[in-house]
Amino acid sequence: MAKWHKAVAEDGFQKTFRFAHRRKEIAIFRLEDGIFATDNSCSHEYSPLCEGMIVDGDVYCPKHGSRFDIRTGAVKDFPATRPVKTYEVKVEDGFVWVKA
């Protein structure tokens, strides 16, 4: 069962943050309309999405350019064909919490 984990202070990052929990890496993104979280690894081939370029709510994989919707995890451009997992996020008492 997924549990809430304190990931980072809300003011502790500007655009992206890499959160490691056990064997899982989660990318946390700050967009104009909120804070969102996805798997940190591109579904095409390992590459950390937290290092990718963010444009209009999408993150581009820094390795091969696959594009993912940060809010839904949906693939928006090849070579990836599988979405990335997204996670529930909440901001409470000045901290970003991720349900994983």
| Domain span including residue 10 | 4-99
Label residue 64 exposed, middle or buried (CB < 10 Å: 0-12, 13-18, 19+): middle
Tally of structural domains, the chain:
1
Per residue in 29-73, pLDDT (tens digit) is 999 999 999 999 999 988 999 999 999 999 999 999 999 999 999
pLDDT at residue 25 in the model: 97
Decide: helix, strand or coil at residue 34. Answer: strand
Assign residue 62 the CATH number of its domain.
2.102.10.10
What pLDDT does residue 86 have? 98
CA 65 from chain center: how many Å? 16
The pLDDT value recorded for residue 100 is 94
Q: Does residue 14 surpass a pLDDT of 90?
A: yes
Does position 95 have pLDDT exceeding 90, yes or no? yes
Task: Note the pLDDT of residue 1.
Answer: 82
